[in-house]
Structure 1
Amino acid sequence: MALPRFETTYSVAELGREIKALLGTAFESVWVAGEVQRAKLSSAGHLYFELVEPGEKAGLAGRLDAVVWKGELGRVRRALTATGQELADGLLLRCRVTVDFYPPGGRLQLQVREVDPVFGLGELERRRRETIAALEASGLATRNRALPFPPLPLAIGLVTSAGSAAYHDFLATLAESGYAFRVAFAHAAVQGREAEREVPAALARLGELPLDCIALVRGGGSRTDLAAFDSQAIAEAVARAPLPVVTGLGHEIDQSVADLVAHTAAKTPTKAAELLVERLRGAEAALEQLRDQLARGATAPFVRARTVLDRAGRTVAAVRPRLERDAARLITAQKGLARAVPGRLATARSTLTAKGGRLERAAARRLERAAQAPRLLAHRLADRAAARLALVAARLEGHQRLLAEIGPERVLARGFSITRLADGRLLRDAAEAAAGSRLVTRLARGSVTSSVEER
């Protein structure tokens, strides 16, 4: 259909230039707020990203391409860094922009001139408070903290980014303790939108395993890097976890919402691992104390038996002289009667003989009973001591089996080794082993001696 001659007809390039001029005039300098996504630094030094507004059900209500030119990037970054923020994915950003249109590509683009460093912090704090209020209203704020923490947490679930510094620091601290920890690992992103999906999924997977607790760790970073752990999705997943959750999120000052709802919060991944190690050390110290108490209880019956035997011996020693004195008096009386009454000697002799026989038999029986009393008492005490020792031995055997489970030998059997310097000190850092040093490495079976050629 032919157009009337009086209506202007633009070429594509002409219309593009008109749009560019119109937008440049109408939106020469405006403030816009949104969330940074897909941030990428170009080889020319310009930072390109998308400024988005989330919509309902994980959709987008709006999206605009944006750029910070190389000449502006340093100043923008300094303004954000001063408030602990970083221009990266997930940042809530309010910026002053010029709206530009690129005719050859037909692309609308925001050119960032200035940023408001306070806006993102205020928005994060608002969301944080809303999340805390929602958790308290639903009763989830103290749910995980109410779970009993096992006395010997040897089976550990670990949620963090695979191969990260937090991953290595946590595992190294457990390995250096010498205890036989068993770790089930579930990878998850620890910042940005991916973290809000992957961390709850990892917690759910580990919650189905026969573990003692779960550690959720990541290294340090800016406040925006840690913003994911203020999200309601991660906080609810931590609160609803069926196992106690220990957090170590790498920040020394602020607590995230995930820290607030976790069973126990540590400052760093290393501190989280040390918390688990110290719990085992406490259990080991309590076991040693119990062993000492059992040993003292086992020797006490023998001490009491010796005391009773000594007392019985003193009683026998006291009775014997008295019996001997009685016998001597009888002999003296017998001789006196023989001299005083010669005529009744035969009768008296037979009477005395009869009485003397009865007296001797009675004395013998008394001496025999006195002599047998300590032996009977010793037998009873020995029987009671043997029974007590058997009970103590059974308890010690159980504790020895427990020590065998958590002892360093089990760690060595899993393929780990312990290397010491020539003076017996543990080798933890390669810098401690100078060239020519003699090293002794202990394995599960035997040991190997080596020397350092170079490092």
Structure 2
Amino acid sequence: MGYGQNKQNQERQELSLLELNNRVKGAVLNAFPETCWVRAEMSDVRTNAASGHCYLEFIEKNAITGQLVAKARGSIWAKTFRMLKPYFEMETGQMFASGLKVLVKVSIEFHELYGYSLTVLDIDPAYTLGDMIRKRMEIIRQLQEEGVFTLNKELPFPTLSKRIAVITSPTAAGYEDFLNQLANNKAGYPFYTKLFPALMQGERTEESVIAALDRVYRYADHFDVVVIIRGGGATSDLNSFDSYLLAANCAQFPLPIITGIGHERDDTILDMVAHTRMKTPTAVAEFLIGQMDKAAGEVEELQQDVSRLATDILSMQKNLLQLLGSRLPV
């Protein structure tokens, strides 16, 4: 080993990993204020059942390509999470879950052992609401530009809508209410229902309802209308019914679709593209009974018209016969 290399080894600074991480920690503390507000998407949100702490990842994607461009570990300590989660869900109507874009107040930390992370101290629900509204408007605009937004509404509604394909969860209380309302209609109209089971809450709702629609489509000639109902459940679960794929499938379905997914707030996109939107499963049943009442009323009016016309014809013929009879020689 030469003199030059010995001198180089003496001059270079060597740090242990702990010393390096401590310097990084100090640099982070000096570079940032105690807290700052950060825009990001939540991912891998999970809660520790024992401690009550929430652990998640914050990510950012390229707006055009969708590729991941940034990621950071995050945590919300139990004391904060107990207040923050219900507040956020009440204000937004959405579950505190992966996939939502949020604006959070965080402290930036670098731990010698665990590395870089963000600790959440507060959240602004208005930012998430704004992003949800923007997404809804984008989906509505896309459906309109594709020319499918009003297709289902333009279908003629059958005069006698008594053969009904029902898409819902077989265990939903709303399903039983719907069946009971139809079965106990005062006029005794016969309704024939066929259940096509689907999940009506949770992350798989979209694909489950679309799969049920595909099954109905194979037997479309056997039905007059399709009913999509959901009894009760959390308002946050309605996010699944703001799906582009589900709305596009319903908008282009060859049978009229009636929705009754049990909520009072603004229509979901599914409601917007459906032929008819009712608030609850019971209201859907009442609507179908009302359509039968309307058809029965029209039949009754036709019967009365025929009766009046027949009476008029008989009266005219009677008068004619009397006139002819008066002209005959006695």
TM-score by length of 2: 0.75
Aligned-pair CA distance for 1:230: 2.2
Change (3 A) 1:158 1:76: same
CA contact (8 A) 2:35 2:105 kept: yes
Partner of 1:202: 212
Kindly report which structure 2 residues correspond to 1:85-234, keeping only aligned pairs within 5 A, or say none. Answer: 85-89=93-97, 90-98=99-107, 110-177=118-185, 178-209=188-219, 210=221, 211-219=223-231, 224-234=236-246
Distance, in Å, in 1 between the alignment partners of 2:206 and 2:108 is 32
**Residues 39 and 50, structure 1, Cα contact 8 Å, conserved in 2:** no
8 Å Cα contact 2:95/2:237 also seen in 1: no
Equivalent residue, structure 1, for 2:257: 245
Gap change, CA 1:111 and 1:189, over 3 Å in 2: farther
Q: Match for residue 289 of structure 2?
A: 277
1:52 positional shift:
5.5
Query: What SS is found at the alignment partner of 2:103?
Result: strand
- Residue 94 of structure 2 contacts residue 239 of structure 2 at CA under 8 Å; is this kept in 1? no
CA contact 2:41–2:101 (8 Å) conserved in 1: yes
- CA separation of 1:71 and 1:51: change in aligned 2, threshold 3 A: same
Map 1:316-335; keep pairs closer than 5 Å: none
> How many angstroms apart in 1 are the aligned matches of 2:179 and 2:20?
58
Hey, what does 1:75 align to over in structure 2?
83
Between Structure 1 and Structure 2, whose CA radius of gyration is higher?
1
Report the CA distance shift for 1:268/1:53 in structure 2 as closer, same or farther (over 3 A). farther
* Structure 2 residue ranges without an equivalent (≥5): 1-8
Which whole-Å CA distance do the structure 2 matches of 1:110 and 1:187 have between them? Answer: 42
What secondary structure does 2:91 align onto?
coil
Deviation per residue, 1:126-183 (Å, 9 max, x gap): 1111111111111111111111211111121222333123333333322232432222
Conserved? CA contact 2:148–2:251, under 8 Å: yes
Q: Which amino acid aligns with 1:140?
A: V
Deviates more, 1:151-160 or 1:221-230: 221-230
Letter in 2 for 1:190: M
Do the aligned partners of residues 61 and 267 (structure 1) sit closer, same or farther apart at CA in structure 2, a change above 3 Å counting? Answer: farther
Task: Please give the secondary structure, in 1, of the residue aligned with 2:150.
Answer: coil
Does structure 1 retain, via aligned residues, the 8 Å contact 2:39–2:101?
Answer: no
Aligned to 2:306: 294
Does the 8 Å CA contact 1:19/1:101 hold for their aligned counterparts?
A: no
Deviation at 1:88, TM superposition (A): 3.1
Percent identity between the aligned chains? 32
- Is the 1:153–1:280 Cα contact (8 Å) retained in structure 2? yes
Which SS does the other structure have where 2:134 is aligned? Answer: helix
| Deviation larger for 127-136 or 294-303 | 294-303
Which secondary structure state, in structure 2, belongs to the residue aligned with residue 185 of structure 1? strand
Structure 2 CA distance, aligned partners of 1:60 and 1:272? 44
Quote the residue 2:49 is aligned against. Answer: 42
Count how many residue pairs are aligned between Structure 1 and Structure 2. Answer: 311
CA deviation after TM superposition for structure 1 residue 119, in Å: 1.1
Secondary structure of 1:146's counterpart equals coil
